[in-house]
Amino acid sequence: MTSGRGRRIAFDYGQVRIGVAICDPDGILATPLPHLLATHPKILQQIISLIDEYQPITIFVGYPKTMSGENGEAVELVDAFINSLEPLTAIPIVTVDERLSTVSAARKLRDAGKSSREARSEIDSMAAVTILEAGLANEN
């Protein structure tokens, strides 16, 4: 299922922070954006502002699965996030298995020489990069 040319955006939803990543129009380079605070009173407006700014053709949202493939504990929270976003945009929202996305993000940051303290503020958006890369791979 190839979606064609256009940016895609990915969100790694968490109770505290939401990691965000965007790709180029050709779907080659996934780039982290600054994370958002999930508890911000205008979080949905912030997300819609990002969507308006980048004009993605697809929104990927990390979906928490256990290692056995079952729905994880946070599924209800992610479902609520998706349900609150769907009425605000006509852009397709696609869930992506996010197993090991945070582990992969931590490894990338460690390989880049970031200390665990430095990585803490970047890990959510790097996890969103991993989700975006997985979503792009699933399109092809």
Percent of the chain residues topping a pLDDT of 90: 63
Helix, strand, coil: what percent of the chain each, to 5?
40, 25, 35
User: What's the predicted TM-score (pTM) here?
Assistant: 0.84
Q: Is 115 exposed, middle or buried (0-12, 13-18, 19+ CB in 10 A)?
A: exposed
> Mean of the pLDDT values across residues 44-52?
97
Of 109 and 39, the one with more pLDDT: 39
The pLDDT assigned to 40 comes to 96
Confidence of residue 56 (pLDDT cuts 50, 70, 90): very high
The pLDDT assigned to 123 comes to 72
The pLDDT assigned to 68 comes to 66
> Mean of the pLDDT values across residues 115-132?
77
**Which residues are registered as beta bridge partners of 22?**
9, 31
Of 74 and 31, the one with more pLDDT: 31
Distance separating alpha carbons of residues 28 and 77, to the nearest angstrom:
30
Distance separating alpha carbons of residues 140 and 87, to the nearest angstrom:
28
Q: Where are the domains of the chain?
A: 8-139
What architecture (CATH level 2) is domain 8-139? 2-Layer Sandwich (3.30)
Convert the pLDDT of each residue in 78-121 to its tens digit: 999 999 999 999 999 999 988 655 656 566 656 666 666 665 66
- Residue pair 127/62 in contact by the 8 Å Cβ criterion: yes
